[in-house]
Amino acid sequence: MLKAVIIDTNAISRGLLNTVLTEGGYGVAGQAHTASLGFALVQKFRPHFVCIARDQVEDGENIVEQIRATLPKTIIFMVAGAIDAPTLQASMARGVNGFIVKPFKADAVLKTIRNTVLALVRKQQG
């Protein structure tokens, strides 16, 4: 079972995403409301993937870069209500692997995670 850490300032969003992931067969090792607490959980649990809210990615604490430096194979998803092209490009340049759009639709979230994981596995094998 793949395990995740969720980092989002919004408790409702964390709870909803937790439900989607656990009902989709993923384990949620931890949840945090700040980037620094989230990074501590990432170091402790070493998850396969991390879901980080856009505001946490862009808050200046460089959490994406910290995760990349510590656990380079961890998959990072940015969670946001809307993602424009400049944000998408900047996030990918920092090391974000995929995007989960709010409001959450369970099937879309699970499909995004599955497709991103499969694409990265194929890339590593090739």
The structure tokens 């992931």 sit at: 21
Mean pLDDT of the chain: 94
pLDDT at residue 81 above 80? yes
pLDDT at residue 77 above 80? yes
Confidence of residue 82 (pLDDT cuts 50, 70, 90): confident
Question: pTM for the whole thing?
Answer: 0.95
Q: What is the mean pLDDT of residues 100-126?
A: 92
Homologous superfamily of domain range 3-125: Response regulator (3.40.50.2300)
**How open is the CA angle 107-111-113, to the nearest 5 degrees?**
120
Domain extents for the chain? 3-125
What CA–CA distances, in Å, run from 124 to 65, 90, 120?
Answer: 20, 23, 6
pLDDT at residue 126 above 80? no
